[in-house]
Amino acid sequence: MAAKVPSLQWNEKYIPHLPHPKQAVFLSLPDREAFFGGAAGGGKSDALLMAALQYAHKPGYAALILRRTYADLVKPKALMDRAQEWLQGTDARPVDGGKSWRFPSGARLDFGYCATDADVYQYQSAEYQFVGFDELTQFSDWQYRYIGFSRVRRLEGVNVPLRTRGASNPGGMGHEWVMARFVDGERTFIASSVRDNPSLDADEYEESLAQLDPVTRAQLLNGDWTARAPGGFFQRDWFEIIEPNDVPTDVCCVRFWDCAATEKRKGNDPDATAGCKAGKNGKAEVYVLDMRRDWRNPGGVDDLIASTANHDGRDVAVREEQEPGSSGKAVIAARARKLLGFNYKGVPSTGSKAARAMPVSSAAHAGLIKVARAPWNGAFFDELEAFDPENTKLHDDQVDALSGAFAELTAPAEQIHRAVRLVRPSPIGIL
């Protein structure tokens, strides 16, 4: 059994066993932000629940633990089940079937979920001193940053540290941003493995994990953050990241828009309007220079496209996917009037999303697409690697915008009708 760390705040009434050494380090951290994880079986979920309960004896203290879906919360031996095991028989009281617990001190522990980016707004009025994300790589960085920082506040008279904590194995849709933020970044990362958890039969667990495919085995057995499953249409390492100033000075540029017209509100997760600016010179390479994304109503989309065109300048051709039918023609005609003086036109879509993305995938695999380093890169690559044209629940706005820009740049030159001139990548990135 692990020895108790002298400086560690502890409450044996609610936490039934002492932490193992890696958990003790995690629990004693003064850092505002920290991450615990790596290999499976390292005790990360226990560490997260322990951390949430550390100050349950303090009046006014509030903690929140999140999973991506409610189904994840209520699985056998998951965190709500584990909290029930730990807290039954104590003076803590379950509320709403164990979705929340109340303590005699007035403290509370809540369990929640965040299935979509829009779900962050269900916590808009909440205030916590601790927020923990179990299986952090299943969340987007937007969900993490919004809840983990806007909802964590110090209340008057509640003398406890403010903490945002995550725990996860490698893999999942958020693998890259978690790796960049914690594993490769400067924020605190406590790496753990099954050998760090004396509560498990490590030999038996490792034998079980050995039956998995090589990539998943490397992630879960070794906590290897560099092991990545082969992608479908796109893989991040097919794209060379270059500095903006290294873009050639003779590229011809186009901004291609894939438009949506729904604002983000509580309870919805709409498609975004995405505009990809890309360039090409006389060589085979295509340069992805900028990506704009926003969620606006139709009038807001008009403003976004117009303001971006003015920012890009008249040397950047403007193209937009034209929806079929008379309504699509009307939208393009109205936009053309607003963009009078720009090289603008609508482009009717042909073929499926998969067919339009395939030439881009082939060029990327051949190392012919380079991407200018910018803040939008992470979200861009996350969407590309997740792209599945058969899955209508996944967003593909940036993929469509990239496919459209690529098609324009690789079509016969006379279709763009423009002088060759460099337009540097925008420093603004995502609006």
- Concatenate the DSSP letters of all residues of 194-248 into one string: GGG-TTS-HHHHHHHHTTS-HHHHHHHHH--TT-----SS--GGGSEEE-GGGS-
Q: How many CB atoms lie within 10 A of CB 106?
A: 12
Structure confidence at residue 430 (pLDDT): 35
CA 214 to chain centre: 25
DSSP assignment of 308-357 equals HHHHH-TTSEEEEEEPSHHHHHHHHHHHHHHTTTS-EEEEE--S-HHHHH
What mean pLDDT comes out for the span 97-104? 96
pLDDT above 70 covers a percentage of the chain that reads: 85
pLDDT score of 200? 61
CB atoms within 10 A of CB 102: 16
Domains and CATH numbers, the chain: 21-222 (3.40.50.300), 236-415 (3.30.420.280)
- Quote the pTM value: 0.56
Cα–Cα nearest to 135, from 104, 106, 166, 158: 166
Phi first, then psi: what are they for 232, rounded to 5°? -90, -85
Does the pLDDT of residue 203 top 80, yes or no? no
289, two tokens: 């220079």
Range 341-369 average pLDDT? 90
214-218, 272-276, 336-340: least confidently modelled range: 214-218
Q: Quick one: pLDDT at residue 428?
A: 40
Please give the pLDDT value at position 1: 32
Is residue 120 a contact partner of residue 147, using CB atoms and an 8 Å limit? yes
Highest mean pLDDT among 37-46, 59-68, 115-124, 226-235: 59-68
Three-state DSSP class for residue 69: coil
State how far the Cα of 229 lies from the Cα of 218, in Å rounded to an integer: 10
Q: Which of 277, 254, 251 is nearest to 342 (CA)?
A: 254
Q: What is the pLDDT of residues 211-248, one digit of tens each?
A: 665 667 778 777 888 876 544 688 888 999 999 999 99
Of 321, 324, 274, nearest in space to 301 by CA: 274
